[in-house]
Amino acid sequence: MNLSPDQYFQFLYERALDQQPSECFHSQRQKVKEGLIEALGDFSELHDFTPSLSWNSVEKVEEEEYVRELVHIQTAPHLKAPVYILTPKSHEESFPAVLAIPGHGQGHKEAAGLVNGGSDFAVQLVKKGLKVFVPELLGVGSRLLGQDVKEGREKSCDAMSTSLIMVGKTLAGLRYMEMVTLLDRIQLCRDVKANHIGIFGFSGGAFIAAITAALDARIKAVTLCGFMNTFQGSILSMPHCLDNYLPGILKTAELPNMIGLIAPRPLFVESGKNDPIFPFATAKEGLSDVEQVYRQLKSEQNLAYVFHEGGHEIDGSSCFEWLKDQLIKDKIKT
């Protein structure tokens, strides 16, 4: 007698897909957007929150090609986010900007080039002439819960996620709300071209980048590395951090439907053929579904991708130059 519950959980997945909206294309996209907002959780208490227009500068360092500044920005009541700001050394009065979001690992210090052997993708972007803002995500790096610091844990994602779920919120939702506040601040910078803002994310940071771009039209171009997939092929098929899960999202959308909300804006996808946690086979499936959305909107030329030979890492052979090219255009379609 087979007592395995596998078939039941497959039944639940398929039943959720059957409940997804089946209206016309544009109505369906609106339903996906509404479902994503609902799945992120209720953050209505932040709607009346007005963050300070100033930020606290902690340090400023001149590198050969850019200036790196560390600031603390109030993002919500009782929350401050450390953000590295990398500004090119040039005679330009203003720059296109990128919100560059790291995933798990060693936090925004790694992205800003302060960890030996790490992925310094923010440095690669600033060297392209872009002003780069690198936030530390809640739950990683320097933003751990006190108990996790005391007990020597490397992240607080699971503890934060469970606490937030119990009050009708998600960690992904809180991280997204912080990105919205950062975008508000980025637009106020005198040396930022306010209509030329892109977003770059790797792994869990790409999850937040995708959500932010899907829901905030101020993002004009998007690069997602080490993330394209389906929910079934990735976070439902192997252990992942709890911050990747959105209650009820499958009733509205699979992951490609959510990423498809970025269309018709420019999107670059980079994935490793040997990525063990976002597998290549289902990455191709997810990309194929996203391609269908771009075809429906007659914007296939705005979707680019690279499947490199590496694993769960940033290849960088094309994505940095591509994002620069999108953001330096004189006119960006909204």
Please give the pLDDT value at position 329: 76
Please check whether residue 104 is in contact with residue 157, taking contact to mean a CB–CB distance below 8 angstroms: yes
Distance of alpha carbon 216 from alpha carbon 121, whole angstroms: 23
Compute the distance between CA of residue 7 and CA of residue 12 in angstroms, rounded to an integer. 9
Token code pair at residue 149: 């610091």
Q: How many whole angstroms separate alpha carbon 27 and alpha carbon 7?
A: 32
Region 152-163: mean pLDDT is 95
Are 211 and 174 contacting, i.e. CB atoms less than 8 angstroms apart?
Answer: no
Q: At residue 331, does pLDDT exceed 60? A: no
Share of the chain above pLDDT 70, in %: 98
In the chain, what are the domain boundaries? Answer: 6-327
Contact at 8 Å (CB) between 36 and 262? no
Average pLDDT over residues 178-203: 95
| CATH of segment(s) 6-327 | 3.40.50.1820
pTM of the model: 0.95
For 244-300, how does the pLDDT look when each residue is reduced to its tens digit (9 = 90+)?
Answer: 999 999 999 999 999 999 999 999 999 999 999 999 999 999 999 999 999 999 999
Average per-residue pLDDT for the chain: 94
Strands 267-272 and 303-308: parallel
What is the CB neighbour count within 10 angstroms for residue 19? 11
Closest among 195, 216, 222 to 328, alpha carbons compared: 195
pLDDT at 1: 67
